[in-house]
Amino acid sequence: MYIKDKLSMEVKGRDMITGLPRIITVTSDDVTEAIQHELNGMISALKDVLNMTPPELSADVMERGMILSGGSSQLRNLAELFSQATGVPAYVADEPWLCVVKGTGIALENLESYKRSILATK
């Protein structure tokens, strides 16, 4: 995976063992290690979805790539990690934190069309 410079920051809080105030330095490596299990689960789920994707759609995904949205998409190097793990280009959406809200608004504006579409597939 492409590694950028390591980041660090001081975190202030109460030590849960001693109960006293404490300041520690947390690095980007610490965060990566802490969420490694979740990252592996995300990669596994992504691979499952890609394996179940119909061939005609797979061609489009391979050509255009996948767009990451939501808060997790802003984890540093996540798009590169997904791309490396799957061989599919990955990009972060513009304003990824707003994608769900914007999509929900579009769905509500076109609710009747979506209802007909959903009912037709049942």
**Rounded mean pLDDT, 21-28:** 96
More confident residue, 107 or 115: 107
> What's residue 3's pLDDT?
57
Domains for the chain: give ranges and CATH numbers: 35-94 (3.30.420.40)
More confident residue, 25 or 3: 25
> What's residue 94's pLDDT?
94
Is 67 in contact with 93 (CB distance < 8 Å)? Answer: yes
Residue 118's contacts (CB-CB under 8 Å, 6 or more residues apart) are: none
As a whole number, the mean pLDDT across the chain is 91
> What's residue 88's pLDDT?
96
Residue 115's contacts (CB-CB under 8 Å, 6 or more residues apart) are: none
> What's residue 5's pLDDT?
84
Burial tier of 79 (Cβ tally within 10 Å: 0-12, 13-18, 19+): buried
**Kind of pairing, strands 90-92 and 8-14?**
unpaired
Q: What is the pLDDT of residues 27-86, one digit of tens each?
A: 999 999 999 999 999 999 999 999 999 998 999 999 999 999 999 999 999 999 999 999
> What's residue 120's pLDDT?
72
